[in-house]
Chains A and B, each alone.
Chain A
Amino acid sequence: MADEDDDVVLSELDDAELVQQMHDDLYDGLKEEIEEAVNILLERGWAPYDILTQALVEGMRIVGIDFRDGILFVPEVLLSANAMKAGMFILRPLLVETGAPKVGKMVIGTVKGDIHDIGKNLVGMMMEGAGFEVIDLGINNPVENYLDALEEHKPEILGMSALLTTTMPYMKVVVDTMKEKGIRDDYIVMVGGAPLNEEFAEAVGADAYCRDAAVTVETAKELIARRHNQLSSGN
């Protein structure tokens, strides 16, 4: 496929073809092509938000499905994520200017002792793509980092990531500290990482476990909507 693509001149494609081509280029992790295509769509007057959702997020959604199904592996996902990141880098300031819809805010970080961050970064990016403001605390976060960030940014959602069996129990430390401080129920706590599962999330007192970025976006939207309903019905 790469060979035919060599001949494709992005600027000669019509909008629909170009968006389709962007899905393919994201899949193939072609960073420069994505940057070029984003700029072409902007020149053609596309709203940054539409480029983000229709071209980038949709393309990454397809990558996510094939990763889940074992068709793509970690290196390919990383390349795709890189390409998406480059596209978002162009769009981010424009999204702020054009007042793209804001769905909510999320603080996310990998827990103490763990420096795996590929999955967390992907979740952060897809949440941002879905209209969330994302505050990324990076890796190796002790409970204080999470608490400080909650206080400072007042997000609806706290997300924690862990990839090691030795570090996943730390999530309970964070949730328990939130309970002690009487702030647990002020936030939606979401957890993820390959070795986790639903049972574990329940055991640590989180609101949700999500197996991938797409499920995280859906679940986050649902939990926020539920929370709004509860608040407006006075519960």
Chain B
Amino acid sequence: MADTTRPPRSARPRCGPDLSEQAQDRTLIIACGALAREIGSIIGRNGLSHLALRCLPATLHNTPEKIPEAVREAVRAARGNYGRVVVGYADCGTGGLLDKVCAEEGVERIPGPHCYAFYSGNRAFEAAGDDDMTSFYLTDFLVRQFDTLVIRSLGLDRHPELRDMYFGNYEKVIYLAQTQSAELDRAAELAAEKLGLAYERRQVGLGDLEQFITEVN
């Protein structure tokens, strides 16, 4: 049995497969790297020692056509070792192809179109309709990785003149905050400034992600 005073060792997020005997009793979550810290914290806080985590690179986000097969491969690789596998991805711009892979492989994924929606709560996101249409979302992860995943991957470090071709139709940055952190808040505001956009912070926490992970058995 797990020690109840500290989060069990096995609850810490893993970024490699668990090849131990006990793995057959456990469930592997195959997730987007952008969710590693958050899923890890849910596992740790709730002492979900039956869950293990394996992350695929968050950079797949910019080439969503590669996500379905990358997930399929990871699911198949995990099969022999884990009792069960679930997918820690939203649709993420795969246009339903990830759902097809999940159905074919018999695994479940986090509901929703993308992480901005499930962090906001899918229902609330849908209800808001086009209200945020001219907004660019940041999450804790994206704030931390802003320079790498936004500035550099859009080429804005090398070609700042492209900024308005990307963001000319946008009005503000909305930081969907998972945690309370003055440091991230400041960084998010600075990010908005770099993009030439207004700034709004929304404390949304983990939204639907928390429930999805705690209900995985």
Q: Which residues of A line the B interface, CB within 8 A?
A: 70, 73-76, 78-79, 82, 112-115, 117-118, 139-140, 163-166, 168, 194-197, 200
6 A-B pairs within 8 Å (CB atoms) are namely A70-B63, A113-B129, A113-B130, A140-B130, A165-B96, A195-B95
Q: Report the separation of the CA atoms of residues A195 and B113 in the bound assembly, to the nearest whole angstrom.
A: 11
A165 & B95 in contact (Cβ 8 Å cutoff)? yes
Complex CA distance for A118 and B166, rounded to whole angstroms: 8
Q: Closest CB of chain A to B20's CB: distance in Å?
A: 37
With A75-B154, A78-B162 in contact, is A115–B170 under 8 Å at CB?
yes
B198 to chain A, nearest CB (A): 16
Check if B24 is an interface residue, CB within 8 A of chain A: no
Name the CB-closest residue of B to A70.
B63
When the two chains form their complex, are residues A76 and B113 in contact, meaning their CB atoms are under 8 A apart? no
Interface of A is mostly: loop
Known: A78-B165, A195-B64. A113 touches B158 (CB 8 A): no
**Given A75-B162, A82-B165: A115 in contact with B95 (beta carbons within 8 A):** no
Question: Smallest distance from the beta carbon of B5 to chain A beta carbons, Å?
Answer: 43
User: Would B169 and A115 count as touching, CB distance under 8 A?
Assistant: yes
Inter-chain CA distance A75–B166, complex, in Å, is 10
Within 8 A of A (CB), among B90-105: 91, 93-97
B159 at the interface (CB under 8 A from A): yes
Closest to B154 in A: A75
**B159 touching A194 by the CB < 8 A rule?**
no
The answer for the CA separation of A79 and B166 in the assembled complex, in Å, is 12
- Nearest first, the 10 A-B pairs at minimum CB distance are A75-B155, A195-B95, A115-B169, A165-B113, A165-B91, A113-B130, A166-B113, A195-B93, A78-B162, A78-B165
B contact residues around A113 at 8 Å (CB) = 129-130, 133
Look across to chain A and name the residue whose beta carbon is closest to the beta carbon of B94. A195
A residues within 8 A CB of B155? 73-76, 78-79
A70 to B65, CA, bound (A): 12
Asked if B214 is at the interface (CB within 8 A of a chain A CB), the reply is: no
Chain B residues whose CB sits within 8 angstroms of the CB of A115 once the complex forms: 133-134, 169-170
* Contact across chains for A164 and B113 when beta carbons are under 8 A apart: yes
A197 touches B97 (CB 8 A): yes
Interchain CA distance A166-B129 in the complex, whole Å: 10
Contact A200 B95 (CB under 8 A): yes
Residues of A near B117 (CB, < 8 A) are 166
B133 touches A194 (CB 8 A): no
Q: Given the complex of chains A and B, what is the CA–CA distance between A132 and B117 in angstroms?
A: 39
Question: In whole angstroms, how far apart are the Cα atoms of A78 and B162 in the complex?
Answer: 8
Complex: A115 Cα to B129 Cα, angstroms: 14
Query: Please, which residue of chain B has its CB at the minimum distance from the CB of A112?
Result: B130
Contacts of B94 in A (CB 8 A): 165, 195
Across the interface, name the chain B residue whose C-beta is closest to A196. Answer: B95
In the complex the two chains form, what is the Cα distance from A75 to B65 in whole Å? 18
Q: Which chain A residues border B170 with CB–CB below 8 Å?
A: 115
B144 to chain A, nearest CB (A): 22
Contacts of B158 in A (CB 8 A): 75
Q: A40 vs B123: C-alpha distance in the bound complex, in angstroms?
A: 58
Known contacts A74-B154, A76-B155, A115-B133; A163/B96 CB under 8 A: no
Once bound together, how far apart are the Cα atoms of A194 and B94, in whole Å? 8
In angstroms, Cα B158 to Cα A202, docked, is 40
Least CB distance, B115 to chain A, in whole angstroms: 13
Tell me, rounded to whole Å, the shortest Cβ–Cβ distance linking B66 to chain A.
Answer: 9
Knowing A194-B65, A200-B95 are in contact, say whether A117-B130 is a contact too (CB < 8 A).
Answer: no
- Contact at B95–A117, with CB atoms within 8 Å? no
Cβ contacts under 8 Å, A168 to chain B: 95
What B residues does A164 contact at CB under 8 A?
A: 93, 113
